[in-house]
Amino acid sequence: MALVSAKEMLQKAKAGHYAIGAFNINNLEWTKAILLTAEECRSPVILAVSEGAGKYMAGYKTIVGMVNGMLEELKITVPVALHLDHGSFEGAKACINAGFSSVMFDGSSLPFDENVEKTKILVNTCDVLGLSLEAEVGSIGGEEDGVIGQGECADPKECKAIADLGITMLACGIGNIHGKYPENWQGLRFDVLDSIQELTGDMPLVLHGGTGIPDDQIKKAISLGVSKINVNTECQLVFAEATRAYIEADKDLKGKGYDPRKLLAPGFEAIKAKVKEKMEIFGSIGKAD
């Protein structure tokens, strides 16, 4: 199946009270692990690419080529969207030109009026091309490609104003943080989520910082209108741990050096297991059928 916009999968998720996982990709192994797991689980999936990962993987066109090749060669039949994560205005335009099926424009650090103006332009472009568009209000804490936020909460009225522009999905800060949560974290602000959901109606809401949020809070957020959950750090942690354990076990040394395919195999399996675990929690297994 060719790449699809995330619109239909997210609208179905919102109506069905489950969430679609958006998993960041960083290399071939991650991409293949996520696609194969989605197919095995019959789950729609979103492959997310940060601008930093885009540069690392030799540019957006390279990524589009790799993902399209895998969809065909691995015979993937579940819906897959290729999505820019936390994009700048220029980054969003570059991904649209390169063949992504979905983009996020993160204008949350801009003055609100500028966020609105730039989001509006991208709404028009994405509408014409049939792509999905994510916008953000209220920055998400933690560090993402050098941008540090404070885990603030979005203003529900601003959320409504951006949602009314005709975007596909809305990311809004509700006390969530990228990466590991600090010990004194107070948890998600369900009161804020509730107000945003009330004003934005059917709009699929996006929860960034999916790593480290307790399962019961994830499930409650889904019940209050979250339909897309982003996960990155947890996959990084299991990948690094599995690779470290392989090296420590010294499996391949014996005078021959490391075979990169063997070296990365445990990390590949670890990501498959992590993605499946997340899809179970999010409730997306079997929803591709």
Closer to ligand 13P by CB, 139 or 197: give it: 139
Q: Report the site for ligand 13P in 130-189 (rule: CB under 6 A).
A: 178-179
Q: Which is nearer to ligand 13P, 24 or 43 (CB)?
A: 24
209 touches ligand 13P by CB under 6 A: yes
Told to check if 88 binds ligand 13P by CB under 6 A, we report no
Binding ligand 13P (rule: CB under 6 A), the pick from 85, 134, 136, 158 is 85
CB of 263 to ligand 13P, least distance (A): 24
Distance in Å, CB of 85 to ligand 13P, minimum: 5
Strands 142-144 and 147-149: antiparallel
Q: Which amino acid is at 37?
A: T
In degrees rounded to 5, what are phi and psi of residue 120? -60, -45
208 binding ligand 13P? (CB under 6 A):
yes
Phi, psi of 102 (to 5 degrees): -160, 140
Helices 260-282/233-248 angle, 10° precision: 140
Residue 243 CB neighbour total at 10 angstroms: 17
H helices present in 164-249, as ranges = 190-200, 215-223, 233-248
Contact call for residue 231 and ligand 13P (CB under 6 A): yes
Q: Is 83 in the site for ligand 13P (CB under 6 A)?
A: no
Q: Which are the contacts of 42, defined by CB distance < 8 A and separation ≥ 6?
A: 78, 285, 286, 287, 288, 289
Report in angstroms how near the CB of residue 206 gets to ligand 13P at its nearest: 9
Round to whole Å and give the CA distance between 213 and 178.
10
Single-letter code of the amino acid located at 245: A
Report in angstroms how near the CB of residue 73 gets to ligand 13P at its nearest.
27
Which H or E run includes 163? Answer: helix 156-163
* Paired sense of beta strands 226-231 and 205-207, if any: parallel
Single residue of 232, 239, 264, 266 touching ligand 13P by CB under 6 A = 232
Identity of the residue, 230 or 284, whose beta carbon is nearer to ligand 13P in the bound complex:
230
Q: Is the distance from CB of 250 to CB of 261 less than 8 angstroms? A: no
Establish whether 202 is a catalytic residue: no
* Among 150-158, 214-222, 231-239, 251-259, the segment contacting ligand 13P (CB under 6 A): 231-239
Q: Which among 4-12, 54-62, 224-232, 237-245 is the span making contact with ligand 13P, rule CB under 6 A?
A: 224-232
Among 11, 125, 217, 233, binds ligand 13P (CB under 6 A): 233
Q: Among the candidate windows 6-14, 28-36, 119-127, 225-233, which touches ligand 13P by CB under 6 A?
A: 225-233
Report CA torsion sign: 265, 270, 273, 275. negative
Separation of alpha carbons 140 and 147, rounded Å = 9
Catalytic site positions? 85
| Residues engaged in binding ligand 13P (CB under 6 A) | 24, 85-86, 178-179, 208-211, 230-234
